[in-house]
Structure 1
Amino acid sequence: MSVETRTVTASEFPDWLRALATGFLRPPVVSDEEAAERLAHIDLPRVRGAFDSGRCVATFRSFAQQLTTVGGAALTASAVSNVTVSPTHRRRGLLSTLMTADLAEAKERGDVVSTLIAAEYPIYGRYGFGPAAQTTEWAIDVPRAGLDPRWSGPGDGGRIELVDGSDVRKLGPELHERLAARQHGVVSRDELWWQVNTGETQYPSQPWTEPFYAVYRAAGGEIEGLMAYRADDKWGDAKQPLNTASVRDLIALTPAAERALWHYVCSVDWITTVKSGYRAPDDLLPLLLPDPRAARILTQADFLWVRILDVVRALEARTYATSATLVLELHDAAGLAGGRFRLDASPDGAVCAPSAQSPDLTLDVRELGTLYLGDESAVRLAALGRIEEEAPGAAAVADAVFRTSRRPWCPDVF
């Protein structure tokens, strides 16, 4: 019997969850209660699966998202998640079928981009996605960092306060919205995100450990930063503390808030190592330490991938560092965003439209996704043969136009 790919019904959703767990090497056991709870919070018409003799053997889901582009505008995005193919059904084109259908629907809906966090690098370029933002995680050797061991709070008139999950559900969404308005690469968080990440909504398959929550309140009384972290309980043979604090989330709207929250977590008694969680590669963290070498890189990799669906709206939505004109010849094997486009960019705005002029650069839509948030160099991509420079110096012009002074950052796995 051939494998059938389609959207999933409510009665099939528990089987879909078990296939999802199988694909991610988690125990393939999901209770009816958990399946019902998850179903209540999911957009079922955007849940797809592949079925062989009635058994789910591949999973795919997308959901509505907002992505902050350069300059602070929010783009309508189709976020791709929960992509698996069971090990018994690999290399049969199931992902291609599921992805093709979802991207076509996203295009028809009018979504500007599609986004995802890639578990494996080689898969998604063939569907037009390009790695647009990277992530870095550090481990701080606290005794070596050189911070003042007598530190008792910020010296700027602000203060650190401990709060609980209910407080975070009240103040967190507004803080995150303010972050998204200024940091390109940030994606939206819905109400369920805050419920799950503060323990109000829990699933048996994801055991919950309550974290500590700390906020930074500026001298004027306004909360400008939030940190969530957990700590282990590890001691050496000589009864010396060897505890690690692992930061799960940190929102800082000002350098003062960022400095104070990092100093705070590094000052907690018994903590000898702080793991930063996923941060921007150009995060202030290492240089906030008197000895930046105390921050050792644990992870440095691609993170957020972007697939352009509407070239004109995507390029007109973001801001640019300088004024220039570029004609781009875009190849798109899926036929969703290909064509020739003229971009007239300036710090005051941009105009993009289809064009019949000779191209300055020829590139695949995945390379445009890689360039879109300003993190990659067109000159480097040209050297790699991934961009063709039709007009001499056009790649350097693209760098001047697209690159940003600070790198994009996506705080969230989705």
Structure 2
Amino acid sequence: MDFDFDADQLEFVAEVRAFLDEVRQWPDAADIMCPERESDSILADTPARKAFNKELAKRGYLGMSWPQEYGGQGRPGIYEYLLNEELSRVGAPLIGKGVGCVGQTIIRHGSDKLKQEFLPKILRAEVEFALGYSEPHAGSDLAALKLRAEREAGGWRINGQKMFTTSAHFADWYWLAARTDFDAPKHKGISVFLVPMDQPGITIHPIETMGEHVTNQVFIDDVFVEDAYLVGELNRGWTYICEALDYERFTFYTFSPLEEKLFALRDLLRTAQRDGAPVIAEPHVRRRLAKLTAEVEMSKMLQRRVIYASSQGRVPSIEAAMCKLYSTSLHQRLADFALDSLGTEGLLHKDDAEAPAAGKWEWSYRATALDTIGAGTSEIQKNIIARRALELPLTY
């Protein structure tokens, strides 16, 4: 495996960094670039961040890997990865679900109508999506979902509930998984629909998590969806969901935020004092920091394996599972180490003027737990690795 980037790719990274330097001069740059938001930093959930995505579109950064026949550039997916790395490094919104799991699935499986209606809007950053997967009793076991889509003339009548839907409070369209065959095995009777979020019968209740990330509970009562908004083939939704989740794990869990956290923590420990000496001078702190530095490099290599597998034309499900499992746990270990090293002052909330690093690490401690759940829990990633890589049998 060659983990080095070629000259064209490095030139692209320099181009993106120059663009981000321009953005730093915008009046609302502080809203666009805010890595302290942790998992929320990937979202285009404010007017300024939506305007930023429109600028990405104008500069040709959206849909770079899409085929040219759909308005893309036909470039290798590595360029989208490199773009997301630079965006996530500064806490700017990523290129998003529309370009990624939604757009890619429509390209591969969607009807001509869906392609014509949605792909141009995605490329112009004119539409935001929410993924309607998890339910109160179908989270890690997503195939157990019970949202019902029942056939009637011209379409489907949908009833049920979704849980933990990120982006529902500002999205335009719902990428919604529903059960359409109630007698089939649970993995076989699922379909995916596109539903307007402002359609009557959809009720959204925001839920603020302990990391101050807003997710949502969504009630869907007697909502009608036309046949034209069924994505792909009837009862093939499970396949589309798995493809989309693999893409999400690949693109959303970038490496650069880990590296930036490590650098920030190292600099903080150099300046923080305990008993008149820098905290970093303590031998046990130096040992743990050295170990975490090696682990951050390991996370980088796991991400590179995902890229390599994708560049070979494979869906990197095993590699993405390994990367997500390791990197999200490492975010937690960094936050744990920060609080241990800073002592009681490290527990101060970001609203306290005396909080070290403006309370970044206390917030990170609360927020990083969420990343071990989103896009498939750590337990699910272990199951993927055990079954697909190690070929271990299922045990219950």
When normalised by structure 2's length, the TM-score is 0.28
Structure in which a larger fraction of residues adopt strand: 1
Larger Rg: 1
Which of structures 1 and 2 has the larger relative contact order (alpha carbons within 8 angstroms, sep 6+)? Answer: 1
When normalised by structure 1's length, the TM-score is 0.28
Structure in which a larger fraction of residues adopt helix: 2
